[in-house]
Amino acid sequence: MSTSTITGGGSEAGAQGGVLRRARELTPQFAEGLGVTLAIAAATTIGKLVVPIAVQQTIDTGVLGPGGPNPGRVALLCAIAAVVVVLTTCTAWVVNVRLFRATEAGLASLRVRAFRHVHDLAVLTQSGERRGALVSRVTSDVDTISTFLQTGMLVLVLSLGQVVLATALMFFYSWQLALVVLACFVPLVFLRNKLQRPVARAYAAVRVRMGEMLAAISETVVGADVIRAHAASARSRRTVDAAVEAHRQQAVKAQVATAATFSTGVLVSGLVVALVIVVGTLLGADGDLTLGRLLAFLFLAQLWVGPVQATTEVLNELQNALAGWRRVVDLIDTPVTVPEPAGDRVKELPAGPVDVRVQDVAYTYPGTDKTVLTGVDLHLPAGSRTAVVGETGSGKTTLARLVTRLVDPAQGRVLLGGVDARDLPGRELHRRVVAVPQEGFLFDATIGENVRRGEPGATDAEVRAAFAELGLGDWLDGLPEGLDTPVGQRGERLSAGERQLVALARAHLADPDLLVLDEATSSVDPATEVRLQRALEGVLSGRTSVAIAHRLSTAEAADTVVVVDSGRVVEVGPAVELAHAGGPYSRLHAAWTAQHA
């Protein structure tokens, strides 16, 4: 009965076979000691039959015994029964704890495995939404499985045993009455499964309304400045009221659907009691049933009620848990686009500043035919300083990602120190080739702790020196708490420009041999930026550097300027020469000069 309601179809049953196989591979902890646990669980179920049997025995052989009521016999029987109840209570606890230990150990390792895989994937093109989905893979999806295993699975296993044993005993006492009970409960199981669908739909709609409502309320908080500036609160009140009311109405609808489903169970168990008494009495009057057995049926039937009431919800939880499991496994099975080199291909990056060669490289967004870069050939000698300029969307950020191996080219190759970047192990590569992205992401810690992530183990003095060498000592000293200043989530307690300063110090402390700055100073004020550029020139000596520039002042400081336009390199040369060459750079330069002179 239970299996058919879980699967509901052959193809799904096949998929679940796959789930079990993958579970053995990914979470072998689940299976550890499972046989013993299930054996104890089976023995535990017997405890559920104690009360109905005691009732039958008490009535038939105790109260209505041949020689009148026999309290001694009942006392003995019930003492034995009590011992069984106490013993099965203990074994139930043992079963629970064994199951929780095994499953939680498995889930913890599944979580970490999925987390590691997210970092192994090329995660550069994640939108906020996609990132939220990845977070839920390692959090709520695994939590759903955990919740099911902690509450649902045990109910399912014990319920099944309880229903099977109760039914067997019912048939032993009276097959006719057993059929009556089954005739009531079995259709209910199917009916409730059917009723569950509108309930699930109603709750899905509640979640949507909830999201809309929170979005409406969030506008009153996040958009408070605009609302105040334009005296637009009447509009926001209307939006919020409508969204709150829509959520309330949908939530009440869902509540009505749940209440209706729940009450069918109560109604049917009332019907069972009435029918057991009517049919049982008629059978008993004919001498087919003893009073004790008839009354035991009242208690046996109760053993069906709990499982029937719980099973629908548990099956729902099971579906959620399976869906969560599949999403986690799908993530783990997603192929890595920037794979680690195979053991026999591993090469080492030669010491010292990195010589970069880009050979006939093209890059296409994976899974699309959108070409971002094509036919790129460049040589950046060790120790040289290069600036890359071009319009937004010209492909200059992609070029930066190719030389730091955040992505692999679709065609051609990138050589770092003469070695194909694909043959360098990621960890070593990223220790020596550091990129500073435009949005200077900081961890929720202090400034000092953030910078130290560039070089774990660096002392405060070394961190301070990193700022000083970038000409940022004054800025650091101006902060009341200095290195101990907490930066808040994503570094939001600092301004965008200040976050970039910390990110630069972090990269500088990492002491890379190739430093790639992707518009890394775009948010700092002009005077600071110019000072920073001056300091960088000193810091960069002895390193190869590539700066993606959105301001031409950066380009002018470089040895070589690379101009990218529509995915192609259109000009390469010293800034001074290009400015007068009459090409694309000349035009950019003229526009820049007009704004700033």
Partner 1 sequence: MSGTFLSGMRTLARGAREEPRLFGTAIVGSAVYGAGTAATGWLVGRVTDRVVVPAVTGSGSVGTAEVWLAGGALMAVTVVTVAGILVRRIWAGMVAFALQARYRRLLARRYLDLPLAWHHAHPAGRLLATAGSDVEATWQAMFVLPFALGVVVLIAVAGVAMAAADPVLAAVALLVLPALLAANVVYQRRMSPRVTRVQQLRGEVSTTAHESFEGALVVKTLGLGEEEVQRFAADADRLREANVAAGRTRGGFEPVIDALPSLGTLAVLVVGTFRAASGAVGVGDLVQIAYLLGLLAFPVRSFGWVLSELPRTVAGDARVQAVLREGATTPWGERSLPAGEGAGPLAVAADGIGYRHPVPAADPLDERADVPEQFVRRGEPRAPRREPVPALAGVTLDVAAGSTVAVVGGTGAGKSTLAGLLVRLVDPTSGTVLLDGVDVRELADGQVAGVAALVPQSTFVFDDTVRGNIALGLDADDVPAGRRVDDDDIWEALRLARADGFIAALPGGLDELVGERGSTLSGGQRQRLALARALVRKPRLLVLDDATSALDPTVERAVLDGLAASGTGTTVVVVAYRPATIALADEVVHLERGRVVDRGPAAEVAARDAGYRDLVTAYARAARERADEAQHGTGMA
Query: Does 174 contact partner 1 by CB under 8 A?
Result: no
Binding residue (CB under 8 A) for partner 1 from 13, 204, 282, 581: 282
Whole-angstrom Cα distance, residue 147 to residue 256?
Answer: 25
Least distance in angstroms from the C-beta of 494 to partner 1: 10
Helices (H), 223-290: 224-229, 233-285
Binding residues for partner 1 restricted to 345-364, rule: CB under 8 A: none
**E-assigned strand segments in 91-169:** none
Out of 1, 135, 204, 590, name the contact with partner 1 by CB under 8 A: 135
Closest distance to partner 1 from the beta carbon of 435 (Å):
4
34 binds partner 1 (CB under 8 A): no
Pairing of strands 514-518, 433-436: parallel
Give CA–CA dist 343/345, Å, rounded.
6
209: left (phi over 0), alpha (psi -120 to 50) or beta: alpha
Written as one string, the DSSP assignment of 280-325 is HHHHHHTTSS-HHHHHHHHHHHHHHHHHHHHHHHHHHHHHHHHHHH
Q: Does 493 bind partner 1 (CB under 8 A)?
A: yes
List Cβ neighbours of 169 (8 Å cut-off, separation of 6 or more): 49, 52, 53, 300
Tell me if 62 contacts partner 1 by CB under 8 A: yes
Window contacting partner 1 (CB under 8 A); options: 8-16, 184-192, 323-331, 503-511 = 503-511
Helix (H/G/I), strand (E/B), else coil: 516: strand
Contact region for partner 1 (CB under 8 A) — 1-9, 321-329, 360-368, 519-527?
A: 519-527
Position among 111, 327, 499, 543 found at the interface with partner 1 (CB under 8 A): 111
The rounded distance, in Å, linking the Cα atoms of 189 and 203 is 21
Q: Is 469 in the site for partner 1 (CB under 8 A)?
A: no
Interaction residues for partner 1, span 552-571 (CB under 8 A): 552-553, 556-557, 559
Query: For partner 1, which is the closer residue by CB, 529 or 571?
Result: 529
CB of 278 to partner 1, least distance (A): 4
Q: Pairing mode, if any, of strands 356-364 and 411-416?
A: antiparallel
Nearest distance in Å: CB 252, partner 1: 6
3-class state of residue 77 by DSSP: helix
Binding residue for partner 1, selected from 13, 39, 164, 274, defined by CB under 8 A = 274
Task: Kindly state the smallest distance separating residue 7's Cβ from partner 1, in Å.
Answer: 27
Among 7, 290, 337, 411, binds partner 1 (CB under 8 A): 290
Residue entry with tokens 């390692």: 138
On whether the CB atoms of residues 409 and 361 are closer than 8 A, the answer is yes
In the block, which residue shows the tokens 């120790």? 383
Give the helix ranges, DSSP H, for 459-564: 460-469, 473-478, 496-509, 526-539, 552-556
Q: Which residues are paired to 573 by β-bridges? A: 561
- For residue 455, the tally of other CB atoms under 10 A from its CB is 17
Question: Taking CB under 8 A as the rule, does residue 225 contact partner 1?
Answer: yes
Site for partner 1 (CB under 8 A): which residue of 34, 42, 134, 332?
134
Residue 413 or 490 having the CB closest to partner 1: 490
* Minimum separation from the CB atom of position 197 to partner 1 (A): 19
31 or 86, CB closer to partner 1? 86
| Cβ closest to partner 1, residue 72 vs residue 343 | 72
Q: Least Å distance between CB 386 and partner 1?
A: 11
For residues 313-332, which are near partner 1 according to CB under 8 A?
Answer: none
Q: Tokens for 171?
A: 């048939």
Enumerate the β-bridge partners of residue 89. Answer: none
Which listed residue (530, 535, 570, 572) binds partner 1 by CB under 8 A? 530
Using CB under 8 A as the binding rule, the residues of this chain from 392 to 431 that contact partner 1 are: 404, 406, 426-431
Kindly indicate which of the ranges 11-19, 410-418, 460-468, 523-531 contains the residues binding partner 1, using the contact rule CB under 8 A: 523-531
Tell me the C-alpha distance between 595 and 597, whole Å.
6
